[in-house]
Structure 1
Amino acid sequence: MSTNPGQDKFGNWLQPTAPGLFGLSLGALTVCGIGTVLVLLALVREAYALALITLLATFLIVLTTLIPFAGSTLFTKVSDRISLAGRNRRGESFYVTGPFSTLPLEAAQRLPGALLNVDTLSGVDGLNRDYTLLHHKAVGKIAAVFGCTPDGAAMQEQSVINNQVAHFGSWISSLSIDTGLAGATIVVDSASESSAGTCAAVRADVAPNAPAFAKRVLNEAVGTLPARSSVLNVYATMIWDAKALGATAKDLSPAVAEIAARLPQQSQMLTRAGAGAPKPLIEAELAEIAHLAYQPARDQELALDALTGLRAARAWDQSGPEFFDDSRGRVVFHDGVASMTLMMTIPPESQITARSFDQLFGPNPKFLRKRVAILYRPVDPGTAARTVNRLVSTADWKISTRRGRATSFDTKNKAVAEQTELELAQGARLALFSLMVTITFEANQDAYRDALNQIKSLMGQLLMPYRFVEHAGSAAFHTTLPFGVLPWTYTTTPLWLRAVL
C-alpha cells in the first residue's frame, strides 16, 4: 500500500469587490442613486425634458463606463481604439532601431516602451556572485532577476512537490513584509528550439582517440535526434521601490547596497520553493533573453556560437529589436515574427493542483516561443485586514439582498471570506496576483490561426476567464518579459477605487 500523499488542491481565490445590487457595482449604484434624485427633483419642478435627459444620461454613463463586457467597459474599448489610432497617426506604434532610428544616438538600439528608460547597475552580492539590477527610472523601481533551474515534477515524489509548494506559498507570504518591495513576477519561458546545439555538444565531447566504430555509432545516434528540442527557462524577478530603500534622485547606492544584501536570502527561499539553484542574472544574460524574445529563430545560431566560443556579450542598451510594430491591435510584429498576449480576468473557477498548469507552462510546437508571467502584488497587513473585512461584508450583503434562497456559490464565497479572515488573524499574508501569456508565432495567417486555436484550448482546460490584449500589445509583450515591469506602478488609480468600480 502506497504511503505517498495525494496532490494538494488549491483555489478559493477572492476578487476584491465592494457590495453591489442587482449585478451592479457600488460605483454604478452610486451613479444610479444620484441620477434618480436629480430626476425626481426635475419632476417636482415639472421640468419633464430635463428629467428625461438626466435619466438617459445616467443610463448611458452606467452602461458605457461602469458595466464591464468581456472584461472591459464600452468606454474603455472605444478609448483604447482612439488611443491606438492616435499613436498610429503620430508614428508612436512603430519602433525602429539602428541607423534608421529617430531616437537619439545613445538610445538608438535600446528596448522599446516601458523598457526604453531602464539602466543597469552591476555589482557583487554577499555570496560573491555577479549581479545586474535594472533601474526603472520613470517609476523609481529597481529589479533583480534570478535565473532558476527547477527540477521537473514528473519524476519527483508527491510529498516533495507538496513541500515545495508549501515553501512557495511562504515565499509569496514574505513579499508582504519585505520592506520596500513593490512586486514580484515569475516568468516561465518555453520554446521548441533547434537541437543543433545539443548535437554539436555531444559530438564535441567525443575523445579524439575513441575507436572509429564508437564514433560512427554515436554520430548515427545523434543523427536520429529530433530536429527541435523543448527548453524551459524560469525567471523570478523582485522589484523594490528605490526611494523606500533610501535612494535619492542623485544617489542610488543605499538602495543598491540593501538589495545586494537581500539577494542571498531570496535565493535560499526560492531554492526551498523548488527553484533549483537560482542565481542573479548579469547584463549579457538579460540582453540575450530580450534578443531571443524578439528573434526566437536565432536560438540555433546562439547555441552554436556558445559551443565554438564565438558568442559576443550583448550590452543591455543594444538589445532592442530591429523593428516593433504595434499598429494592428491584438497582434504585434517584431523582427519577422508575430506575437499576441492574453490576460486573466478572473482566477481559475475550479480548484487546481501543482500539475494543473503543466500544459500551459510547457513548450508547444504551435508556438515559436511562449511566456507565462505571474505577477504578484504584495499587500501590507493593515490594507489586507481592511480588504478581507470588505470581502466578508460583501458576501453577507449578497446573501441578505438576494431574492429567494442563497445559492451554493454565495454560501461558498462567504465561507472562503471568513476562512481568509481567520487565516489573516493567525498570521497569514495577503497578495494579489494576475497571469499573462504571450505567444510568438510565424507572421502568417495559418500560423496565427493555429496559435490562436492552441492557446484557446490551453486556457479552456483551466476554466480561467481571460481576454486578449487588443490595443496595448507592446505594453503587454514587455510586461511578460522578466524585467520587472509592473502594470500597477504606471497607474494612479488606488486599489480601493478599482474595487468600487
Structure 2
Amino acid sequence: MTTPDVRTYGNWRKPTSPGIRGLGLAGTLVMFVGLLLVMLMMFVSLFAALGLGVLVALSLVPLLMRDKHGRNGVQWFTARVAWSRGKTKGQHLYRSGPLGRVAAGTCKLPGLAAASRLYEAEDAYGRPFAVLTVPATNHHTVVLTCNADGASLVDSNQVDTWVAYWGQWLAQLGHEPSLVSASVTVEAAPDTGERLRQEVFANISPDAPKLARHVLNEVVHGYPQGSAQLSTRIALTYSGVARATGARRTAEEMAIELGTRLPGLSAGLQMTGAGPASPMTALELTEAVRVAYDPSVAGFIEQARSEGGTELTWDDAGPMASQETWDHYRHDGAYSITWAMSEAPRGEVFSSVLHRMVQPHPDIIRKRVTLLYRPHDPATSARLVERDRKDAMFRAKQAKVSNARDTVAVRAAEQTAQEEATGAGLVRFALLVTATVASADELKLAASAVDNLSAGSRILLRRAYGAQSAAFTAALPLGIVLPHHLKVPQVVREAM
C-alpha cells in the first residue's frame, strides 16, 4: 500500500501599492510633489524652503509608521477622528420598538442594513427565496443554506476533491454577470434541544411502557447539554446596474433574473462538500438575523416553528437597543466582539487550517466565521496579476541586497500570473470572526479564546476598533459589501 501525498494550499498575496521605501503610491507622490515645491521655494527664500521641507518630512512620517497589521498612522488617526465625530452625534446608540426613535415603532436593523428591504420570489424550480435589497448601493442578495458534510472519517482524497470543486465554483463566480461578492458564514451555537423534544414527543405512542417513556425523557433533557448546532449559509450579492446598458434594475427585475440562476448555483455546491443547498426564505432569513442580535430568543423561535411559525417580519429582525463602543458591541442582552483578518497564513497550509476556528467553543455562546469573496472577471484578473508581478519586482529591486520575503513575493506573483493565464480565477478574500457572549464579564475570556484559535490557524486577526457595529453586520449573511459603504474611494485606500 502506498501512502498518498498530503496536498497543501497557499500562494495568496495581499494587494500592495508600488512606492519608495514602503510609502506607497500616495506617499511617493506626496514626497515628489513636496520636493518639487521645495526646489521652487529655494529661488524665493532659503529659510522658507527649509521650513517647507520640514513640513513635507513631517507629513510623510505617519505614512511610514506601520503596526503589525499593516495600518499606518494616517489610517489610525482618521479612524479615531471618525469614531469621535460619530460618538459626539450619538451614532453609536440605537433605540427601536414602541418607545424608540424608529418610525412606526418597529425594530429595524441598525447601521448599514437600516434601509434594507426584504422581498420573496420563486426560482425556476418553484422554490421560494428571499431577495435582500440595499438601496444605497443598489445591491441585491440571495442566501443559500447548506448542510455541510463534516471531514471526520473522510479520506484525504475526498477532501482534496471537495477543495478542488470549491475552487472551481469560486472561479466560475468571476464569469457570473453582475456578481459583486460572495460570503460563506459558518455559525456555531448551542443546541436548544427544541427540535429533539418536538420530534420525540410527537412520536411517543400512548401505549408505550413506563420505562421507555422514562428513557426518552432523560434523552430529551440530557442529550442537548453540551451539544452544538452548526449552520452554513452562502450569500451572493449582485449589482442592480445592468452591465451592458448601465440601466438601474428594480428588485422585481432582479428577482426574476436571480430565480433563473439559483438552481445552477445551488447544484454546483453539491460537489464541494457543502451538501444539499437550498435558498433561504424571507422568514428563515429574518429568524436567523433576529437570533443573531438576541441569542436568548433562539429557543422561543424554534418552539414557534413547531407550532405553526413565528410570523416575524423584516421590520422586527433588529434589536430593541444597541450600543457600540470602541472595542465591542452590545445588542439587546448580548455582547459581541468582531475581528478582521489582517494577514492570511504564511506559506502553505492544509485543508483543515480553519477546522478549529469554525468549531464550537465552550467560552463563546455563539461564534460566526465569515469568509468574504470578491471575484474578478477574466479581463480584470489578467490586468491585476500583471500589475502585481511588476510591483513585486519593483520592490525587490529597491534593496541593494535582496531579502527572502521579496524573493518569495516575486516567485508567488509569477506563479499567480501563470495560473491565471491557464484559466484560474482571481478572487479577493477576507475573514471576519464574531464572538457573542451573555455578559460583559465574559468578553475577555472570549477574546482570549479567539486569540488562541487564530494562532492555531496561523491567522493574524485585528479587532475592528471603532467599527464593531458595521463589522457585526458584515459578518451576517446579508451581503453587505463594506468597501462600497466607505467614504474614501477604494483607489485612494489601496494607494496608501
Q: Deviation per CA, 1:261-287, whole angstroms, max 9, x where unpaired? A: 000011011222221111111111111
Alignment partner of 1:325 out of 309, 315, 323: 323
**Aligned residue runs from structure 1 range 211-290, under 5 A:** 211-225=209-223, 227-244=225-242, 251-290=250-289
For 2:236 and 2:219, locate their aligned partners in 1 and report how far apart those are by CA, in whole Å.
Answer: 43
For 2:457 and 2:276, locate their aligned partners in 1 and report how far apart those are by CA, in whole Å.
Answer: 29
- Mark the CA change 1:16 to 1:224 in structure 2 (over 3 Å): closer, same or farther: closer
Deviation at residue 289 of structure 1 after TM alignment = 0.8
Deviation at residue 25 of structure 1 after TM alignment = 1.9
- 2:335–2:437 contact (8 Å) kept in structure 1: yes
Aligned-residue CA RMSD (Å): 2.2
Deviation at residue 494 of structure 1 after TM alignment = 5.3
Q: Paired residue for 1:410?
A: 406
Q: Paired residue for 1:152?
A: 150
For 1:252 and 1:196, locate their aligned partners in 2 and report how far apart those are by CA, in whole Å.
Answer: 36
Which segment is superposed worse, 284-293 or 212-221? 212-221
Which segment is superposed worse, 246-255 or 477-486? 246-255
Alignment partner of 2:396 out of 368, 379, 399: 399
Matched residue SS, 2:269 = helix
For 2:268 and 2:476, locate their aligned partners in 1 and report how far apart those are by CA, in whole Å.
Answer: 22
- Mark the CA change 1:191 to 1:223 in structure 2 (over 3 Å): closer, same or farther: closer
- Mark the CA change 1:310 to 1:382 in structure 2 (over 3 Å): closer, same or farther: closer
TM-score when normalising by structure 2: 0.93
- 2:11–2:416 contact (8 Å) kept in structure 1: no
For 2:195 and 2:2, locate their aligned partners in 1 and report how far apart those are by CA, in whole Å.
Answer: 41
Q: Paired residue for 1:335?
A: 332
Matched residue SS, 1:165 = helix
- 1:197–1:300 contact (8 Å) kept in structure 2: no
**Aligned residue runs from structure 1 range 108-147, under 5 A:** 108-147=106-145
Q: Deviation per CA, 1:269-324, whole angstroms, max 9, x where unpaired? A: 122222111111111111111111011122223333334x1542211121110111
- 1:18–1:390 contact (8 Å) kept in structure 2: no
- 1:333–1:443 contact (8 Å) kept in structure 2: no
Q: Deviation per CA, 1:178-233, whole angstroms, max 9, x where unpaired? A: 11111111111111233354345334433322222222233334444352421111
- 2:110–2:318 contact (8 Å) kept in structure 1: yes
Structure 1's unaligned 5+ residue stretches are none
Q: Paired residue for 1:178?
A: 176
Aligned length: 494
Matched residue SS, 1:72 = coil
Q: Paired residue for 2:83?
A: 84
- 2:23–2:63 contact (8 Å) kept in structure 1: no
Amino acid at match of 1:335: D
Q: Paired residue for 1:306?
A: 305
Deviation at residue 387 of structure 1 after TM alignment = 1.3
- 2:356–2:457 contact (8 Å) kept in structure 1: no
For 1:271 and 1:142, locate their aligned partners in 2 and report how far apart those are by CA, in whole Å.
Answer: 24
Deviation at residue 493 of structure 1 after TM alignment = 5.2
- 2:108–2:316 contact (8 Å) kept in structure 1: yes
For 1:8 and 1:198, locate their aligned partners in 2 and report how far apart those are by CA, in whole Å.
Answer: 39
Structure 2's unaligned 5+ residue stretches are none
Q: Does 1:475 align with 2:473?
A: no
- 1:148–1:233 contact (8 Å) kept in structure 2: yes
Deviation at residue 91 of structure 1 after TM alignment = 2.3
Matched residue SS, 1:142 = strand
Alignment partner of 1:374 out of 350, 371, 379: 371
Deviation at residue 169 of structure 1 after TM alignment = 0.4
Q: Deviation per CA, 1:9-36, whole angstroms, max 9, x where unpaired? A: 1111112223333333232222222222
For 1:256 and 1:220, locate their aligned partners in 2 and report how far apart those are by CA, in whole Å.
Answer: 47
- Mark the CA change 1:133 to 1:438 in structure 2 (over 3 Å): closer, same or farther: same
Q: Paired residue for 1:14?
A: 13
Deviation at residue 377 of structure 1 after TM alignment = 0.9
For 1:20 and 1:88, locate their aligned partners in 2 and report how far apart those are by CA, in whole Å.
Answer: 35
Deviation at residue 121 of structure 1 after TM alignment = 2.0
Amino acid at match of 1:382: A
For 1:356 and 1:109, locate their aligned partners in 2 and report how far apart those are by CA, in whole Å.
Answer: 38
Deviation at residue 329 of structure 1 after TM alignment = 1.3
Q: Deviation per CA, 1:364-413, whole angstroms, max 9, x where unpaired? A: 11112111111111212222222111221122222222122x23322221
- 2:193–2:220 contact (8 Å) kept in structure 1: no
Amino acid at match of 1:80: A
Amino acid at match of 1:484: G
- 1:375–1:433 contact (8 Å) kept in structure 2: yes
Q: Paired residue for 2:191?
A: 193
For 2:96 and 2:377, locate their aligned partners in 1 and report how far apart those are by CA, in whole Å.
Answer: 41
Q: Paired residue for 1:486?
A: 481
- 1:71–1:467 contact (8 Å) kept in structure 2: no
Deviation at residue 90 of structure 1 after TM alignment = 2.2
Amino acid at match of 2:303: L
Alignment partner of 2:356 out of 340, 346, 359: 359
Q: Does 1:439 align with 2:435?
A: yes
Matched residue SS, 2:382 = helix
- Mark the CA change 1:75 to 1:498 in structure 2 (over 3 Å): closer, same or farther: closer
For 1:291 and 1:182, locate their aligned partners in 2 and report how far apart those are by CA, in whole Å.
Answer: 25
For 1:104 and 1:269, locate their aligned partners in 2 and report how far apart those are by CA, in whole Å.
Answer: 42
Q: Paired residue for 2:445?
A: 450
Over the matched positions of the two proteins, sequence identity in percent amounts to 28
- 2:242–2:249 contact (8 Å) kept in structure 1: no
Q: Deviation per CA, 1:123-142, whole angstroms, max 9, x where unpaired? A: 11111211110111111111
Deviation at residue 258 of structure 1 after TM alignment = 1.1
For 2:50 and 2:193, locate their aligned partners in 1 and report how far apart those are by CA, in whole Å.
Answer: 70
Which segment is superposed worse, 79-88 or 194-203? 194-203
Q: Deviation per CA, 1:416-444, whole angstroms, max 9, x where unpaired? A: 11111111111112111111111111222
- 1:347–1:464 contact (8 Å) kept in structure 2: yes
For 1:85 and 1:497, locate their aligned partners in 2 and report how far apart those are by CA, in whole Å.
Answer: 22
Amino acid at match of 1:291: R
TM-score when normalising by structure 1: 0.92
For 1:403 and 1:275, locate their aligned partners in 2 and report how far apart those are by CA, in whole Å.
Answer: 49
Amino acid at match of 1:84: W
Q: Paired residue for 2:56?
A: 58
Alignment partner of 1:388 out of 381, 385, 388: 385
Q: Deviation per CA, 1:32-58, whole angstroms, max 9, x where unpaired? A: 22222333333454421x223322322
Q: Does 1:459 align with 2:457?
A: no
- 1:87–1:93 contact (8 Å) kept in structure 2: yes
